[in-house]
Amino acid sequence: MSRVLRYLPKAWLSWSAGRVARSSSSRLLIPWFARHYGVDRAAAVVPEGGYANLQQFFCRQLLPTQRPVDASPRVLVSPVDGTLGASGVIEEGQLWQAKGHRYSLAALLGDAEAASRFRGGRYCTLYLAPGDYHRVHAPTAGRVRTARYIPGAYWPVNPQAVARIPGLFTSNERLVTELETGGGQVALVMVGACLVGGIRVNYDPAWNAGPGPHRAAERHYDPAAVFARGQELGRFEFGSTVIVLSEAAMGGETAALPGGCLHFGEPLLKF
């Protein structure tokens, strides 16, 4: 699998998929896509006149009643609908990608100083399948003062690829959002993947990543962008992965078992 993928033009495929998904004719694919991936169409907000294209359906909003957000100050909620992969304590600056594969926190964040703040903390990896809700929300209330874009490859991030391709999350394109909270520092790493047409963030609409040549960059916000628990931070324009990090001082334990499905707003970490 990885040998075949190595020689495919993954960035071009992702750009092409995004272009097709944004075309008006792609709306004809929505019924098939919904059936194939088991999408609950009744849970989503349908724009007046229907979805303009498949991309708009990928990025659909949910009805407000669909995802109640746990209000307990003793939890971080899941920022997405997804499947919990590896999770645990960050030991010696390393995280588990899958059995037999570890990777560097500093490489993931693209900054050794930022990584030092999360040593001994906890991490949770959440995989968004193509049929999942693709928007990303704040796991707790906080302020965004720093964000970092790291260009990279477009390997797929499905469970089979995660198990077979070493260093996958540190190879792919990613956008790191650092969130200052009342209990400590939290980071959300949005990882791009093959066929992901873009990574969008609401706190900086001018800085939206997608397939193509991009330069690494770090941005600082003064005043900080303030988010309430559960408020939308950004979105993927196809399924991908979000890695949630929390400082050691916050403590806590993962509230779900690996392989379990979580909805946005449900407890992810309990303190």
At 119, the pLDDT band (50, 70, 90 cuts) reads very high
pLDDT value, residue 22: 77
Q: Sort 1 into a burial class: Cβ within 10 Å, 0-12 / 13-18 / 19+.
A: exposed
Q: Is 14 within the bounds of a domain?
A: no
**pLDDT tens-digit series, residues 28-63:** 999 999 999 999 999 999 999 999 998 899 999 999
Q: Is 158 within the bounds of a domain?
A: yes
Q: Is 104 within the bounds of a domain?
A: yes
Residue 51 near residue 57, CB atoms below 8 Å: yes
Asked if the model's pLDDT at residue 9 lies above 80, the reply is: no
SS3 of residue 34 by DSSP:
helix
Total domains present in the chain: 1
For tokens 């992965």, the residue is 241
For residue 139, CA distances in Å to 62, 264, 267 come to 17, 9, 9
Q: Is 20 within the bounds of a domain?
A: no
pLDDT value, residue 164: 84
Burial 29-59 (b: 16+ CB within 10 A, else e): bbeebeeeeebeeeebeeeeeebebbbbbbb
Which range of residues forms the domain containing residue 106? 63-270
pLDDT value, residue 258: 87
SS3 of residue 100 by DSSP:
coil
Residue 227 near residue 197, CB atoms below 8 Å: no
Single-letter amino acid, residue 125: T
Q: Which of 58-72, 78-92, 185-199 has the lowest mean pLDDT?
A: 185-199
What is the distance between the alpha carbons of residues 138 and 23, in angstroms, rounded to a whole number?
30
Mean pLDDT, range 250-257, rounded to an integer: 89
Tell me the catalytic residues. 81, 137, 240
Q: Is 49 within the bounds of a domain?
A: no
Q: Is 48 within the bounds of a domain?
A: no
Mean pLDDT, range 260-270, rounded to an integer: 95
At 193, the pLDDT band (50, 70, 90 cuts) reads confident
Q: Is 148 within the bounds of a domain?
A: yes
SS3 of residue 204 by DSSP:
coil
Asked if the model's pLDDT at residue 209 lies above 80, the reply is: no
Asked if the model's pLDDT at residue 242 lies above 60, the reply is: yes
Q: Which of 105, 103, 104 is nearest to 117 (CA)?
A: 105
Q: Is 51 within the bounds of a domain?
A: no
Q: Residue 55: which H helix or E strand, with range?
A: helix 54-58
**pLDDT tens-digit series, residues 122-148:** 999 999 998 999 999 999 999 999 999
Residues with Cβ within 8 Å of 146's Cβ and at least 6 positions away in sequence, in order, are 114, 178, 218, 219, 220, 221
Q: Sort 143 into a burial class: Cβ within 10 Å, 0-12 / 13-18 / 19+.
A: middle
pLDDT value, residue 218: 92
Mean pLDDT, the chain, whole residue set = 88
SS3 of residue 14 by DSSP:
helix
Asked if the model's pLDDT at residue 252 lies above 80, the reply is: yes
pLDDT value, residue 8: 52
What is the bridge-based pairing of β-strands 261-262 and 241-246? unpaired
**pLDDT tens-digit series, residues 142-177:** 999 999 999 888 888 888 888 888 889 999 999 999
